[in-house]
Chain A
Amino acid sequence: MAIKKKSKPKAGIPTSSMSDIIFMLLIFFMAATSLKTVEGLKVKLPRARSIAKLDTPKQSVLFVFIDRTGNISIQDKLLNVEDVSEVIYPLRRNDNMLTISLRSDQETQMGMVSDVQNELRDASALKVNYSAKPK
């Protein structure tokens, strides 16, 4: 009677499925990435501590950029202060959840920001989020 050798299970990570897993991840990141270059104006966001994540769905967020010299940009278009409410009002009418993400430079003067806020009030876009970076 021959002594049978016990067959030991091989100790190794199965590599055959590795490429499948990596491909899956790859496809996920390719789909999740938007290769859009930064829109709007160049701003250095202010710093704050008690910031929270925006809880509005992405499609309802409208970015309003104000740079340090007082240029205003919405949806990649430069605007005058007086025209802000005209641009925002139709958007607001179509979207109840519309939230304005105000991306203003830390050096911007409050006069400008205040004017824009008044325009937002005229357009009834009252939900505003002051974009900031963690301190």
Chain B
Amino acid sequence: MLGKKNRPPAEIPSSSMSDIAFLLLVFFLLVSNVDTDKGLGVVLPPPGDSEIKLNPKNITMVLINANGDVLFNEDVIPIDQITAHARQLEAGNPNMVFSVQTDRKTKYQDYIDVVDQLTAANVKKLALIGTQ
């Protein structure tokens, strides 16, 4: 008597497939960070100490000292008022150049605050002279 053997069907169980895929999906969703690099764009002046003669009327000096105090055209003003002042000057004179200078010990955050404020005022001509 030859009884047929009951063989289990050779198949990959597909019911759990989507669960596994889901798990992997969630893992990669969490792990992946779509790199978003955001920041303030500036263009540095070309190399060399090329002195460009500017009418002193067209220059606004913005000095930042080591404590983060801002001297804006010889007035000490709070950082959050720079935008308003810059807008005013820019409206009065479209050729205005804003020259930002810092102390060597100024914190980077203070500098970024000032550049941020000037960017918010849509300043087109930004001169970053560097440190004194």
**Interfacial residues, chain A to chain B (CB-CB below 8 A):** 18-19, 22-23, 25-26, 29-30, 32-35, 46-54, 58, 61, 101-102, 104-111, 113-114, 117-118, 120-122, 124-134
A23 touches B107 (CB 8 A): no
Question: Least Cβ distance of A47 to chain B in Å?
Answer: 7
Count chain B residues whose beta carbon lies closer than 8 angstroms to a beta carbon of A: 44
Residues of A within 8 A of B45 (CB): 121, 126
Residues of B within 8 A of A58 (CB): 35
Q: Which of B22, B35, B40, B113 contacts A129 (CB 8 A)?
A: B40
Residues of A within 8 A of B38 (CB): 51-54, 131-134
Q: Which of B82-132 contact A (CB under 8 A)?
A: 102-109, 111-113, 115-116, 119-120, 128, 130-131
Q: Which of A19, A46, A106, A117 contacts B18 (CB 8 A)?
A: A19
Residues of A within 8 A of B105 (CB): 109-111
Residues of A within 8 A of B54 (CB): none
B102 touches A32 (CB 8 A): no
Residues of B within 8 A of A129 (CB): 37, 39-42
Residues of B within 8 A of A23 (CB): 21
